[in-house]
Structure 1
């Protein structure tokens, strides 16, 4: 997952969905990652997280996943096209 805006993460950490602030350490604990990862996300040195980390961060901040994150790749496997039929000489 790709972080949409680092400044938005900082703002949401100052006032979460329940109105309280959350520290870097608390958010890292909720996401199951090292606090330095959260710090790097906050200051723009890092812009990606795993799906599970992104979901946990959004949940702890009290926002929908897509407020802070965008998918970096395909989330749904492309439909399989049937193989083309070879032309038969007449």
Structure 2
């Protein structure tokens, strides 16, 4: 999934569907990812997340999935991740 807008993510984190803010750490815990991934999404250094992560983030923020994310696939090409963010084999 491709993030629609880093600014939108930040705004939704400041006031979620229940009216309370959510921290980077809490959002990462809910999404099952490392807090740095949420931080990189917020700064625009990263634009993508796995579908399960994206769904968990949208659910926690209290918005529909497609408010915050665009699906990738045949019609929307996923942007390439910066080389310093690509995982290295173990």
* TM-score, L = length of structure 1: 0.81
Aligned pair count reads 75
User: 1:8-87 to 2 correspondence within 5 Å?
Assistant: 8-74=8-74
CA–CA separation in structure 2 for the residues paired with 1:70 and 1:62: 17
Structure 1 runs (4+) greater than 4 angstroms displaced = none
> Over alpha carbons, which structure has the higher Rg?
1
Distance 1:73 1:51 in 2: 12
1:86 is matched with which residue?
Answer: none
TM-score using structure 2 length: 0.81
- In structure 2, runs of 5+ residues without a counterpart are 76-90
Q: Which digits, 9 at most, give the CA deviation of each residue in 1:46-83, with x for residues without a partner?
A: 000000000000000000000000011049xxxxxxxx
Unaligned runs of 5+ in 1: 76-90
What is the aligned-residue RMSD (CA, Å)? 1.1
